[in-house]
Chains A and B, each alone.
Chain A
Amino acid sequence: MRSCFLFFMLHSVLAKAQINSIPISLMWGEEKIIPEKNYYSKNIADSIQISELKGYITQLRGYVHGKAIPLMNSCLFTTDSAGTNTLTWKKKLDVDSISFTLGVDSITNVSGAMGGFLDPMYGMYWTWQSGYIHLKMEGRSRACRAPGNVFQYHLGGYSYPYNASVNVTLKIQNKNPVLVLPLDRWFEILSFQETDHMMSPCAKAVQWMKVFSEQIYLR
């Protein structure tokens, strides 16, 4: 009897996830991000309000028995209702792990006007110089010395040496995975004193995107 019970428990734990969606959670610690709400950052030693957070997850692939299966082309995660905060695909699959690009790849960046979530009408395309904004973060903090205490980070760039999009691979640990983007950890990395705005491809964008991507996890 005990052996049956143990077998059942082991099977449940080791059972692969049959899923066709993964929600995306934009978090500050244990809290979901609400625009214009105050969040305290230890690194900045002051509170922060996020007014806009948008970003691209593209080329989502699932790995089933080691084989890569394309799941979803592009998704725009946002703090408002304009985007979608769920990665979805048609068929339920036993997915061991996923990989995706945080941002938009170089080939898409030189392919002209795209549709769906890549449509430039979503305000995630640099109009003065071709290229997608991979991640846009805007808000306010008294610690930010820019006019109106406003910080604006538009992280983009697709061509060498400022190709800022990053590939991310994550193992699925349970049956109902959630993709967490932890903004509190991102704000442990950046510094308003160093820069309070970013509007062009640059080395700092490449560096931040890499570090941000390393903070993303599946729970």
Chain B
Amino acid sequence: MRSLKKTHVVIGGWILVCMMSARRITFQYPSYFPEPVYSFDKNLLKQEQIQLGRALFYDPILSLNDSVSCASCHNPFSAFAHTDHALSHGIYDQIGTRHAPALFNLAWHKSFMWDGAVNHLDVQALAPISNPIEMKEDLAHVIIKLKGSEIYKDLFHSAFGDTLITGERILKSLSQFQLTLVSCNSKYDSVRMKKKTFSDQEERGFILFQKYCNSCHTEPLFSTYNYANNGLPEDSLLKDYGRENVTEKREDRHSFKIPSLRNIGYTYPYMHDGRFKKLNEVLLFYSDKKRRTGQEDPRVRNIPALSSEERFDIIAFLQTLNDRDFVFRKKNQFPKEILLRGKD
């Protein structure tokens, strides 16, 4: 009898450990990536919470009239960017003032939005949810709507062990899903891990990239995620001062967050206002001083006039940063098994 009781305890404990282990997810990334900036200890990754975040990300319930979801501007097939639109549009087809940035490798970002107005991933979603041009909703009202949904009662229960719906839980779940959007399987990564080699043109482009682009678009994330003025003339209608809007420092005028160049083939158009449709336009801009304001960062000022061969070599290299596996990864896509449950 004593040994049976002890066995029950051991088995019960083992099952509990397995359950806990099955729910927890370890954040994984290549060894050559730096340490993430995000503090996972305050938001431990759990499979059920990731699924909740994924459902919320794709659900237009976050918008006032249930028409706009996060995925409306952050499409998985565009590496979670908004292709074909220079300026993103939101509820009632209102057009915004900037191009929605691609979402991947967010655990390495120190701040969010083109001007760094948001200081933590967990609170970033508040901005588009409440923006009258984007989703025009209120977090308290989102909670009321979610409480009326049987699907979300189940999702919250799976994620947290109860059906309590709070702003904190919504935001941290959205973070968890977005944190899992890690892009690290491009041809560049395969070359880095010595599984593949560049073509001659890609190799020439890589050398030029390292010489002229790497100081801002630093490997392996292909951005420092800092702010810089690249000499882009201000759009006379948008009058976007960029980082100065946040810091109120004149020297930050027209500085914007340096975007990652990963998945660049999927994330056109380019720049904070999407004014360049093609990569060649971007490189023409960088290689021609007359197109710039003269106020640019010295690192940009030092870029010489690139020949057409050099520009195409760089573009060939940049295309090796596309991560097809990331873009077509099923577990990142619309969760029809959750959101379309019972709607066959």
Binds B, one of A30-38, A118-126, A169-177, A179-187: A118-126
B130 neighbours in A (Cβ, 8 Å)? 127-128
CB pair A127 B129 closer than 8 Å: yes
Chain B proximity mask over A91-126: 1 for CB below 8 Å, otherwise 0: 000000000000000000111111100011111010
Q: Is A129 an interface residue (CB 8 A)?
A: yes
Chain A residue at smallest Cβ distance from B38: A112
Report B-chain residues with C-beta under 8 Å of the C-beta of A120.
Answer: 123, 126, 139, 167-168, 171
Known: A112-B42, A113-B123, A120-B126. A130 touches B167 (CB 8 A): no
Closest to A202 in B: B248
A127 B120 Cβ-Cβ under 8 A: no
CB < 8 Å neighbour of A112 from B122, B129, B139: B122
What 0/1 readout, one digit per residue, does chain B (121-157) give for beta carbons within 8 Å of chain A?
1110011011100000011100100000000000000
Contact of B119 with A by CB under 8 A = yes
A112-B121, A129-B246, A130-B118 are contacts. A121–B167 as well, Cβ < 8 Å?
yes
Interface size on B, residues (CB 8 A): 26
- B21 interface hit (Cβ, 8 Å): no
Q: What is the number of contacts between chain A and chain B, taking CB atoms within 8 Å?
A: 67
Indicate if the CB atoms of B140 and A113 lie closer than 8 Å.
Answer: no
List A contacts of B121 (CB < 8 A).
Answer: 112
**Cβ A129 vs Cβ B118 within 8 A:** yes
Give bound CA distance, A152 to B223, whole Å.
40
Which of the listed residues A114, A122, A131 has the most CB atoms from chain B within 10 Å of its own CB?
Answer: A114
Task: Tell me, in angstroms, the Cα distance from A110 to B175 when the chains sit together.
Answer: 15
Q: B43 at interface (Cβ–Cβ under 8 A)?
A: yes
**Separation in Å of the A174 CB from the closest CB of chain B?**
38
Find residues 89-131 in chain B having any chain A CB closer than 8 Å to their own CB: 117-123, 126-127, 129-131
Q: Are A125 and B123 in contact (CB under 8 A)?
A: yes
On whether the beta carbons of A119 and B117 are closer than 8 Å, the reply is no
- Would A119 and B120 count as touching, CB distance under 8 A? no
CB <8 Å contact, A113 and B171? yes
Q: In whole angstroms, what is the CA distance A123 to B118 when docked?
A: 17
Q: B262 an interface residue at 8 Å Cβ cutoff?
A: no
B contact residues around A121 at 8 Å (CB):
139-140, 143, 166-168
A111 and B127 contact, Cβ closer than 8 Å, known pairs A119-B168, A121-B166, A130-B119: no
CB distance from A113 to the nearest CB of B (A): 4
- The answer for the CA separation of A211 and B136 in the assembled complex, in Å, is 35
- The reply to whether the CB of B172 lies closer than 8 angstroms to some CB of chain A is yes
Tell which of A109, A114, A130, A131 touches B168, judged by Cβ atoms closer than 8 Å.
A114
Decide: A110 near B119, CB < 8 A? Known: A119-B166, A121-B166: yes
Pairwise interchain contact A127-B167, C-beta atoms closer than 8 A: no
Taking a contact as CB atoms under 8 Å apart, the answer to whether A130 and B120 are in contact is yes
Q: Does the CB pair B126–A127 fall under 8 Å?
A: yes
Verify B117–A130 contact, CB threshold 8 A. Answer: yes
CA separation between A26 and B291, bound complex, in Å?
59
Residues of A within 8 A of B246 (CB): 129
Neighbour of B123 across the interface among A122, A123, A130, CB < 8 A: A130
List the A side residues contacting B140 at CB < 8 Å: 121-123
Docked-complex contact A115 and B166, CB < 8 angstroms: yes
Knowing that A122-B140, A130-B118 touch, tell me 8 more A-B residue pairs with CB under 8 angstroms: A112-B39, A113-B168, A113-B171, A119-B166, A121-B140, A121-B166, A123-B138, A128-B117
Chain B residues engaging chain A, CB cutoff 8 angstroms? 39, 42-43, 117-123, 126-127, 129-131, 138-140, 143, 166-168, 171-172, 175, 246
The 9 closest A-B pairs by CB, nearest first: A112-B122, A121-B167, A127-B126, A113-B122, A112-B120, A127-B130, A113-B171, A115-B168, A130-B119
Q: List 16 A-B contacts (CB under 8 A).
A: A109-B119, A113-B175, A115-B166, A119-B168, A120-B167, A123-B140, A125-B126, A127-B123, A127-B126, A127-B130, A128-B130, A128-B131, A129-B117, A130-B117, A130-B120, A131-B119
